[in-house]
Structure 1
């Protein structure tokens, strides 16, 4: 069973600024809560075939490889070497300008769980809500970093600081 999660955010930064941050493929640790370090593996920094290694604060890690890439618009990546009980995971980012000073970023994730019926249940009850929370934090961190240039650490800035970065804060 394929599980799908998507999140959208409107950011008070230009689409170009946000794209440049996302396109710095080895720079995930600059805006993603819980990512201790992200490093490019190999010689390709971005585009199809670029691979990054992500180490998380909890000691886990994974690899991500770009498999679709449309400059200044969209990329999709496939995750591998992760510890969650999943058969496959892919994620994508899409950046669309809304005005000269704001943009919308959409993040989607598709995953298939291991463990048969138990995995399906875990996917619905545990993993989908967990991934939705991860998306929310990642996108808010992206917005804050795009506006301020400040690196996100192990937690997001206070809500009053995020309000300036996000065009529409739910």
Structure 2
């Protein structure tokens, strides 16, 4: 029964104070790591947007995109700097601005590769469909339960609880 699991309260009352504090610290580290990952993904999103703008401006210049790498603007030369077509955006890039994907047997330009990494890292489908249904779950649920316990007993200072 899916509804009963979500409705259960998290009971951490059997933990000793030391165990509760240790769990609190672990959950706090988890939140900090999540924040760092969010910041990294936000930076990646900004880089992708810049590359998209650049490709949008240059992508319409057919004579340029056929003879030069869309990313670094180096001219294509037969053996020295050969051109490859990106599997995702279909634009031409040089070897140094792309990666070969063995699984797909083709080249992916660095901006499209960044976009792939971003999609995997953000798990948009997860956040839109699964996470939105559960307001308090996992470490957030543990954190809430421990905060009430630890804060209510006043045995720990605000800095012990991760406060500033």
Q: Which has the higher helix share?
A: 2
TM-score past 0.5 threshold: no
Q: TM-score, normalised by structure 1?
A: 0.24
Q: Which has the higher strand share?
A: 1
Q: TM-score, normalised by structure 2?
A: 0.24
Structure showing greater radius of gyration is: 2
